[in-house]
Amino acid sequence: MLSQGDIDALLSARHADPFAVLGLHADADSKLWLRALLPGAASVELLDAASGKSLTDLLHHRDGFFEARVPLRRKHFDYRLKVRWHDGGEGVYADTFAFGPQLDEDTLIAFREGRELRPHTFLGAHPCAVNDVDGVRFAVWAPNARRVSVVGDFNAWDGRRHPMRLRHTAGVWEIFVPHATVGDLYKFELVAADGTLLPTKADPFARASELRPSTASKVAAPMPMRALPPDRAAANERHAPISIYEVHPGSWRRNDDNTFLDWDALAAQLPAYAADLGFTHIELLPVSEHPFDGSWGYQTLGMFAPTARFGTPEGFVRFVDACHAHGIGVLIDWVPAHFPKDAHGLAQFDGTALYEYADPREGEHRDWGTLIYNFGRTEVRAFLAGSALHWLEQFGIDGLRVDAVASMLYRDYSRNAGDWVPNAFGGRENLEAISLMQTINARVGGDVPGAITLAEESTSFPGVSAPTDVGGLGFHYKWNMGWMNDTLRYMHEDSVHRRWHHDTMTFSLVYAFSENFVLPLSHDEVVHGKGSLLSKMPGDDWQKFANLRAYLGFMWAHPGKKLLFMGQEFAQRDEWRHDEALPWHLLDRANHAGMRNLVRDLNAMYRTTPALHRLDCDSAGFAWISGDDREQSVFAWIRRDGHGGTALVVCNLTPVPREGYRLGVPDDGAAQWREAINTDSRHYGGADLGNGMHTLQADTLPAHGCARSLSLMLPPLATLVLVPA
């Protein structure tokens, strides 16, 4: 019989090796004993699994500990436990402690050494069958814990029932729980090395979770690998037109009772809406599980789980499929830079700084109140790389927009002198984060054909979108934050002052082709007191709308892929609020409906005019015609597609109509032109000044260094795009 000391240790959940004493074991005389710890059980009977025959009743010592010597048996055999519970229920169960180690030793060694970049394939909760018994294999990395148990619906959340086996090779704890199933809620109960019982932790590798404010993980069904449809690779490459509609799925639309639409409701509405407006991609603010609505998903704890706010992982798959069926790519914001300090999350996961840097000068974002991943630790690198691959391979999305890259690149990001730790060479760059991003981008490029990554990066760090084999970070695209800041600052100026800020509008062309840029007018520009895009424009209501129409025309004709946050396509008047739906009623007003008509036509023009997209990332696709007409605040340029196709663009950013404005036509330009877009059209809510549907003939009068020119009517506060007639 088991010693009283062992029994006490089991009942207090502090036994060093429960697998060594629970289950079926032989004593010194080769006699078999069966021991079970089942708090809440009234009686336990041992059954032969093959015949169902009862072999013996187990003696109940106390508090749910049972044991008995097995009669007439000397060899291990397959058995079941028939349990009658104090609450009157009963059942026949396979015994967790009858199953040996579940994870392959070589896999664990590869994980420890950083050679396994898909740890989610063996860590977390995996429904499976072992020896014809259905259940769930649980595994968690917690190398510094004294004890780890999985607790959940299947064991009354009692940490004594399923203490896990430590695999010393990698600091991974594992267990197979028979009869656990898809949909069961669970967490991990950990005891730190000093004996402290930690708050129960959600599974870092959970593929589904409870709806907040509840915090348990949920066993999810396995999902097959999903490749991108063949047409998506071409739609994502840098010669393609890419126009992104950025969406917060919790506030795009809502149900009548102000609750969230689920993925199926979003699938029925959002892809068709974006497709009607001509967008090529939808970018979702983070949909990974997060505890606080007000973080918009940017303080995430579920790096492998779509948030329960909008339904199940399978629902998200159906949403992605609906987007692809409409010819819309899906990008998601992904946050590998930091995580929140919530007690059920990654912070001090096993009682130590496991996922985060231990030194707060490295491991804490004081601006955001969050913790920074330890980018140099092999297991953390695998965790993040695995998350990136998981979203792409399990859900078949087109790409990841990586948040807060600048904060990852620099160790002194938002820190004062002396409050940061230099790298091994004394510099400010975070070399571990840089190499991690290179690793992830290289794996995405090699393992997920057609998928793309986009960096939200606000510094002049070189080579963000350069290939890793030439020392770049390997992103496919980079957000052009400089363009956004400069042009919005210019547009905020009253038109009478714009002549003094002319260079602000042209400066982006100095570096426009140093990276593969996306021009972002994102959610960040319409929150925290910044107002909407419309409210940033100067003047009375007419001028505000005209300015915004001209600005969007300028953006769509400027080199670079496009991104516009939801609500701005119809000139939302107030800044975005995450806890309510967009003000769709504004579309009942002509000027707001006109703005949406303009966005639809800008996208159509952009997609069907190769000169406006094919060389977005190549200097051969752009040349100034007039970049220095500061007195009239006029900007004019030519776009080229590299195959002889051209488009002329001219912006008049004052409220003064300019008749007979002579615009030079380069030698490779056509002799006859027509307006493809006039942002002052009455169809968009403008005054309908311009050049109408007439064919414009280039004269042999020189202008702007060109031998030929056009005489144009430039509407006030408007952008014209001219294409060969």
What does the alpha-carbon distance between residue 706 and residue 669 come to, in Å, rounded to a whole number?
10
**What is the pLDDT confidence band of residue 503, given thresholds at 50, 70 and 90?**
very high
Q: What is the mean pLDDT of residues 396-403?
A: 97
Same domain, 84 and 163: no
**Chain centre to alpha carbon of residue 32:** 53
| Residue 269 lies inside a defined structural domain of this protein | yes
Mean pLDDT of 315-339: 97
Average pLDDT, the chain: 96
Whole-number pLDDT of residue 194? 95
Instruction: Report, as an integer, the average pLDDT of 49-64.
Output: 94
Q: Identify the pLDDT of residue 470.
A: 95
- Element spanning 175, H or E: strand 172-178
**Each residue's pLDDT tens digit, 224-283:** 999 888 888 999 999 999 999 999 999 999 999 999 999 999 999 999 999 999 999 999
| pLDDT mean over 346-356 | 97
Please report the pLDDT score of residue 169 as a whole number. 84
Residue 28 has pLDDT above 90, yes or no: no
Q: Which pair of structure tokens corresponds to residue 375?
A: 């980018």
Percent of the chain with pLDDT over 70: 100
Name the phi and psi angles at 9, rounded to 5: -65, -40
Q: How far apart are CA 219 and CA 208, in angstroms?
A: 7
Q: What is the DSSP letter of 490?
A: H
Peptide bond into 213 cis (omega under 30): yes
Residue 505 inside a domain? The answer is no
Q: 683 pLDDT exceeds 90? A: yes
Whether residue 204 is found in the same domain as residue 234 = no
pLDDT digits over 134-192, tens only?
999 999 999 999 999 999 999 999 999 999 999 988 999 999 999 999 999 999 999 99
Q: Which pLDDT value is given to residue 29? A: 86
The pLDDT > 90 percentage for the chain reads 95
Domain end marker among 422, 446, 479:
479
pLDDT over 90 (residue 694): no
Tell me which residue range forms the domain holding 25: 4-98
Q: 214 and 236 in one domain?
A: no
Residues 270 and 379 in one domain: yes
DSSP state of 690: S
The residues near 406 (Cβ < 8 Å, ≥ 6 apart) are 413, 456, 457, 458, 459, 461
Confidence grade of residue 378 (pLDDT, cut at 50, 70, 90): very high
Identity of the amino acid at 152? G
pLDDT (0 to 100) of residue 280: 98
Report CA dihedral (550, 553, 557, 558) to the nearest 10 degrees: 60
pLDDT beyond 90 at 1: no
Same domain assignment for residues 332 and 184: no
Q: pLDDT at residue 344 above 90?
A: yes
Q: Is 577 within the bounds of a domain? A: no
Q: Are 445 and 297 part of one and the same domain?
A: yes
Please indicate, yes or no, if residue 601 is contained in any of the structural domains: no
- Which residues are designated catalytic? 403, 456
Alpha helix (H) ranges present in 139-213?
A: none
Structural domain includes residue 193:
yes
Structure tokens at 73: 């048996």
719: CATH = 2.60.40.1180
Rounded CA gap, 523 and 527, in Å?
7
Q: What are phi and psi of 433, to 5 degrees?
A: -65, -40
What average pLDDT does this structure show over 345-372? 95
The confidence score (pLDDT) of residue 230 equals 86
Residue pair 406/351 in contact (Cβ under 8 Å)? The answer is no
290 and 151 co-located in one domain: no
Domain presence at residue 669:
yes
Domain-located, residue 150: yes
Q: Determine the pLDDT at residue 274.
A: 98
3-state helix, strand, coil in the chain (%, to 5): 30, 25, 45
Q: What pLDDT, on the 0 to 100 scale, is given for residue 168?
A: 86
What is the CATH classification number for the domain harbouring 334?
3.20.20.80
Is the same domain home to 184 and 80? no
**Contact status, residue 11 vs residue 37, Cβ threshold 8 Å:** yes
Total number of domains in the chain: 4
Let me know whether 235 and 207 are in one domain: no
Q: What pLDDT is attached to residue 74?
A: 83
Whether residues 71 and 27 share a domain: the answer is yes
Residue that wins the pLDDT comparison between 450 and 30: 450
- Of the candidates 461, 479, 497, which is a domain's last residue? 479
Are 648 and 700 within one domain?
yes
Burial degree of 257 (CB within 10 A; 0-12, 13-18, 19+) = exposed
Question: DSSP code of 703?
Answer: B
Q: Which of 154, 184, 218 corresponds to the end of one domain?
A: 218
Query: Are 92 and 109 contained in the same domain?
Result: no
Q: What is the CATH number of the domain that holds 149?
A: 2.60.40.10
